[in-house]
Structure 1
Amino acid sequence: MKKLLFLATSFLVFSCTTKEEVDLIVTNANIYTVDADFSKASSIAIKDGKFVAVGNSDEISKKYNAKEQMDAEEKTIVPGLIDAHCHFYGLGQNQQVVDLVGTQSFDEVLEKVVAFQAERPSNFILGRGWDQNDWEVKEFPTKDKLDELFPDTPVALRRIDGHALLVNQKALDLAGITVDTVTEGGEIVKENGELTGVLVDNPMGLIDPIVPPLTKEQQIQALKDAEKISLGYGLTTVNDAGLSRDIIELIDSLQQAGELSIRVYAMVSNYPENLDYFLNKGIIRTEGLNVRSVKVYGDGALGSRGAALRAPYSDKPGHFGAMVTPVDQIEALAQRIAATDYQMNTHAIGDSANIVVLRAYDKALEGKTDRRWKVEHAQVISPSDFDYYEKGIIPSVQPTHATSDMYWAEDRLGSERVQGAYAYKDLLNKAGLVALGTDFPVEQVSPFLTFYAAVARQDVEQYPEGGFQMENALSREQTLKGMTIWAAYSNFEEGEKGSIEPGKFADFVILSDDIMTIPSEEIPNVSAEHVFLGGVQKK
């Protein structure tokens, strides 16, 4: 009997002291889990790329033994950040062309183009990032100086929002564009009956056939460049708003080969060949890639006056902007996509474009549930149209658009109409969530600027005093949710990411500061000190 008692006692002691083996334990942290209760924790345990436990450091240390341990030194940890609307591949492409972001004049644009061509000679000069609204002369540039500098080399310089293109005469000639060329869904800008070289929205497509395509090696380099930049800011998932089949398949192959690790929610660009392939194939899912949505362009951008408005632009009488995709095509696309498992995500800036999209969604989704279709940007909305968001439509918005546009938005829209613009809190109140992104490279990649713009609605110089239309600012909790769990939900991925909970991917970021408590003016200076993807440190 004594022997049996000894064995039983020994078994109990052994059972109480045996710890489960995991790959990594992080302790002494200030963790915002972003779970249903928005609870906090101080420690996490990770095994096989997923969280297995979340709690306090003493509890986890007693229960688990790790191959690797990390003391977070009381630093703040948040779930891996999700950019709900960006152009990931476009960011990579931009690393291969002239960077015109931040130029303060057209002369500076020209200087950068000349310097780039001298350093990296090309038979077709490409660039992106100019914004005439940042210049002293806030008018579209013309091609005259480009013609003088590059009479025999085609040049195509894309505006920062991607909705206008400045080309020289050589490019116009190669593309066959003349003063008599007729297009729809945009504008070939003319002055005194002559071409200025500026193409807005659909006419830009006339240049595409003459632009030399990137080689496979250049495409791979572009994706790797974009990943390095994105991971550096704590982004572990990116929603690329418009990809072709070949780039989606390249992303998949690089991920499978272990050469690309960032997770990608790929929106399929709205071209017939893409839709015919993907809608018939159905949803494609791996741990790194999710293909289940179609990106459609409703209209253009406000900065280039391409956004479709119900009434004329306040600073350009008689001009309404234009639909990039005609109304009947948007309605037909909505019906076609609704008959599949795919999501429809439509770019809509102006109030006219927004109501077109909302009505098409409402009609196509009648009787259907949990489809999570998104309006990308949802930028200018008429007061009565906000109610559509009570029906399960998700607003996918980019807070830095508000702080980039606030200097001139009222000029474009007028004092009354601007009240329905960048209305993130109103959209949240109707929809119950907002998915937050940057639209990079239209805006900067930093999600901390997104966070700051959402809560402070100021630029980094703290302008304007008191914030821009602060009635539509988001709280810090709402903002963090918009960049994590709500963004994941908008992707049908809330069961695997977006919060720090057992069973989910161990995607998380250790921040330099507590973004939830520091003074708002310090938020833009926050950095991602350590970035983990599937439990593996990437930075």
Structure 2
Amino acid sequence: MKKFIYILSFLLIAVSCKKENVDMLVINANSYTVNSNFDKAEAFAIKDGKFIAVGSSEEIHEKYQSENTIDAKNQTIVPGLIDAHCHFYRMGLQQQKVSLEGTKSYDEVLEKLVAFQKEKNTTFITGRGWDQNDWEVKEFPTKEKLDKLFPTIPVAVGRVDGHALLVNQAAIDLSGITKDTKVSGGEIMMKNGKMTGVLIDAAMDFIKFPSTSKKEAIQGLLDAQKISFSYGLTTVDDAGISKNTIELIDSLQQVGSLKMRVYAMVSGDNQKEIDYYINKGITKTDRLNVRSFKVYGDGALGSRGAAMRKPYSDRENHFGALIYSPERYQELAKQIANSEFQMNTHAIGDSANTWLLKTYKDVLKSVKNRRWRIEHAQIISPEDFKNFDNILPSVQPTHATSDMYWAGDRVGKERVKGAYAFKDLLNNYGKIALGTDFPVEQVNPFLTFYAATIRKDIDNYPVNGYQMENALTREETLKGMTIWAAYSNFEENEKGSIEVGKFADFVILNQDIMKVEGNKLPKTKAVSTFVNGEKVY
């Protein structure tokens, strides 16, 4: 009998000591889980691409074992970062075109175009990134020099925000537009009765660009993925893409070459595609979510295309413009409201924000959980903040630190108080989704973190921060880049935090962004990026 009891006890001990095999263990980490309590954890276990346990290193070691164990050595880990508003596909394509970001003069733009053409010898020069606000002469360029350099080769290069295009005469002739061409929702800029070569918003649509080949499209997506993973991004919200692009993304994800998770906002410019997706219904896989439409409300502040309630302070009797008629926004909103889809509308100027908020309220009535988004929500009239009670603000903090040098000149001292007001927006909705708008801004999400919390440029300007009353705390900012961004995509139950049952998306960082000195935040780097527990960078 004693022998039986001894054997039974031995077997019970053996069973109790048996550890579960898992795909990966991470131990000795400084992990910010971003769960509801914003708890920290030392360790977690991963199986079948998901977190199955989170706790102390001792707890995890007691229950689990793996041939793949990462000793984090107290490095900081955060959930996989989500860019709630970017142009992933466009940024990828840009890698194959001339890049004009950071140019400090029009002459430097021209030098880059000449060097690009010498290397590529293309039949149509395209690219983007110039910003006249970064030049000593802060005026839109004109095409005379461009025409002399490229008399027969069409040139069409976009402003950094994508809301203005500089073209030469060859591109104009190819498109067939003239100074008398009628434009609704944009402008053909003129000087002394002649076209300057700058087209604003809807006027850009007249330019006939060469089509992108499938090979170029695939390479663009793969290039964008590589860059994004290197910054710790594991989900991107691609704001305004076509059916063809969405289907290409899906096919690349299905074969495993595109591992990036994509929240696809279908372009609201094409009524046929709106009808197609509403009839089709929501498309959802582990890596692709198609359940929203991206609509343009107005242009950009930098090109004075943003729709304002009163004239621009630095251009007499100029108000900017809505892209469509007010009736069109009502029509779109009603159609989308009658579906399960989300409406995400670009609104920069206070007039655009006022109108879109009113339109949303009219069609949504008292429905609270549609999570319709205002993208940018850049300049808000004081009386409009309360209307974000059930409208989700999706903002890009680096816009504040890029625009702060000249935004006050555009809109004046009073209106600028309602600009880049992240804290006010958060206080009204209770959550805020954060992104970059890349390639308008840099891909780097740690610049987002810096701009949201410290509100300075990387040269420590201004000394006391820009409109610091609207700075976010570090906890709010990390939530905006993870769990709140996931919420804005209806994905908070599957990502955005390090919790049991969620996708094992996480990033190991080179420093603790929650504690490091503010001026050191821009130096943060992703050491390793993981999607589904797989190391992708």
Shorter chain as denominator, the TM-score bin is over 0.9
Inter-partner Cα distance in structure 2 for 1:179 and 1:492: 46
Name 1:146's counterpart in structure 2: 146
After TM superposition, give the deviation of residue 93 of structure 1 in Å: 1.1
Partner SS state of residue 66, structure 2: strand
After TM superposition, give the deviation of residue 332 of structure 1 in Å: 1.0
Q: Output the TM-score relative to the length of structure 2.
A: 0.99
Deviation string for 1:54-79 (max 9, x for gaps)? 10101101110112101101100000
Inter-partner Cα distance in structure 1 for 2:256 and 2:236: 17
Inter-partner Cα distance in structure 1 for 2:345 and 2:7: 68
| In the alignment, structure 1 residue 168 sits paired with structure 2 residue 168 | yes
Name 2:406's counterpart in structure 1: 408
1:102-117 pair list within 5 angstroms: 102-117=102-117
Name 2:253's counterpart in structure 1: 255
| In the alignment, structure 1 residue 285 sits paired with structure 2 residue 279 | no
After TM superposition, give the deviation of residue 8 of structure 1 in Å: 2.4
Name 1:300's counterpart in structure 2: 299
| In the alignment, structure 1 residue 213 sits paired with structure 2 residue 235 | no
Name 2:373's counterpart in structure 1: 374
1:440-519 pair list within 5 angstroms: 440-519=438-517
After TM superposition, give the deviation of residue 482 of structure 1 in Å: 0.1
Letter of the 1:107 partner, please give it: D
Inter-partner Cα distance in structure 1 for 2:191 and 2:534: 56
Deviation string for 1:14-49 (max 9, x for gaps)? 122100110000111000000000000000100010
Inter-partner Cα distance in structure 1 for 2:162 and 2:105: 18
Inter-partner Cα distance in structure 2 for 1:402 and 1:118: 36
Name 1:184's counterpart in structure 2: 184
| In the alignment, structure 1 residue 383 sits paired with structure 2 residue 379 | no
Inter-partner Cα distance in structure 1 for 2:52 and 2:350: 46
Superposition misfits of 4+ residues, deviation over 3 angstroms: none
Deviation string for 1:417-453 (max 9, x for gaps)? 0000000000000000100000000000000000000
Structure 1 stretches lacking a partner, 5+ long: none
Partner SS state of residue 293, structure 1: strand
After TM superposition, give the deviation of residue 10 of structure 1 in Å: 1.9
Partner SS state of residue 318, structure 2: coil
Partner SS state of residue 527, structure 2: strand
- After the TM superposition, which of the residue ranges 170-179 and 376-385 deviates more from structure 2? 170-179
Letter of the 2:133 partner, please give it: N
Name 1:41's counterpart in structure 2: 41
Root-mean-square deviation over aligned CA pairs: 0.7
Inter-partner Cα distance in structure 2 for 1:494 and 1:8: 46
Letter of the 1:537 partner, please give it: K
Name 1:222's counterpart in structure 2: 220
Deviation string for 1:199-222 (max 9, x for gaps)? 000010001xx2111110000000
Name 1:394's counterpart in structure 2: 392
Deviation string for 1:278-322 (max 9, x for gaps)? 111000000110000000000000000000000000000100000
Partner SS state of residue 503, structure 1: coil
Name 2:416's counterpart in structure 1: 418
Deviation string for 1:136-158 (max 9, x for gaps)? 00000011111001111100010
Letter of the 2:467 partner, please give it: Q
Inter-partner Cα distance in structure 1 for 2:148 and 2:127: 18
Name 1:130's counterpart in structure 2: 130
1:428 to 426, 429, 446: 426
Inter-partner Cα distance in structure 1 for 2:82 and 2:176: 42
1:42-61 pair list within 5 angstroms: 42-61=42-61
Name 2:352's counterpart in structure 1: 353
Inter-partner Cα distance in structure 2 for 1:503 and 1:382: 42
Inter-partner Cα distance in structure 1 for 2:20 and 2:182: 70
Inter-partner Cα distance in structure 2 for 1:167 and 1:402: 28
Partner SS state of residue 67, structure 1: coil
Inter-partner Cα distance in structure 2 for 1:218 and 1:104: 29
Inter-partner Cα distance in structure 2 for 1:147 and 1:85: 36
Letter of the 1:322 partner, please give it: A
Inter-partner Cα distance in structure 1 for 2:462 and 2:366: 45
Letter of the 1:296 partner, please give it: V
Aligned residue-pair number: 536
Inter-partner Cα distance in structure 2 for 1:41 and 1:63: 16
Inter-partner Cα distance in structure 2 for 1:326 and 1:412: 24
After TM superposition, give the deviation of residue 127 of structure 1 in Å: 1.4
Letter of the 1:233 partner, please give it: Y
Deviation string for 1:166-224 (max 9, x for gaps)? 000011111111111111101000001000010000010001xx211111000000000
After TM superposition, give the deviation of residue 272 of structure 1 in Å: 1.0
After TM superposition, give the deviation of residue 368 of structure 1 in Å: 2.4
Inter-partner Cα distance in structure 2 for 1:284 and 1:7: 56
Deviation string for 1:302-352 (max 9, x for gaps)? 000000000000000100000012211111111100000000000000000
After TM superposition, give the deviation of residue 466 of structure 1 in Å: 0.6
Letter of the 2:308 partner, please give it: L
| In the alignment, structure 1 residue 337 sits paired with structure 2 residue 307 | no
Inter-partner Cα distance in structure 2 for 1:4 and 1:85: 66
Partner SS state of residue 69, structure 2: strand
Inter-partner Cα distance in structure 2 for 1:179 and 1:58: 73
Letter of the 2:300 partner, please give it: A
Inter-partner Cα distance in structure 2 for 1:331 and 1:232: 41
| In the alignment, structure 1 residue 16 sits paired with structure 2 residue 16 | yes
Structure 2 stretches lacking a partner, 5+ long: none
Letter of the 1:250 partner, please give it: L
Inter-partner Cα distance in structure 2 for 1:328 and 1:272: 15
Question: Percent identity over the alignment?
Answer: 62
Inter-partner Cα distance in structure 2 for 1:212 and 1:136: 33
Inter-partner Cα distance in structure 2 for 1:402 and 1:18: 55
1:514-533 pair list within 5 angstroms: 514-533=512-531
After TM superposition, give the deviation of residue 258 of structure 1 in Å: 0.6
After TM superposition, give the deviation of residue 107 of structure 1 in Å: 0.3
Letter of the 1:124 partner, please give it: F
Partner SS state of residue 426, structure 1: helix
Deviation string for 1:116-165 (max 9, x for gaps)? 00000111010100000000000000111110011111000100000000
After TM superposition, give the deviation of residue 370 of structure 1 in Å: 1.0
Partner SS state of residue 142, structure 1: coil
Letter of the 2:182 partner, please give it: V
Inter-partner Cα distance in structure 2 for 1:237 and 1:335: 29
Letter of the 1:443 partner, please give it: E
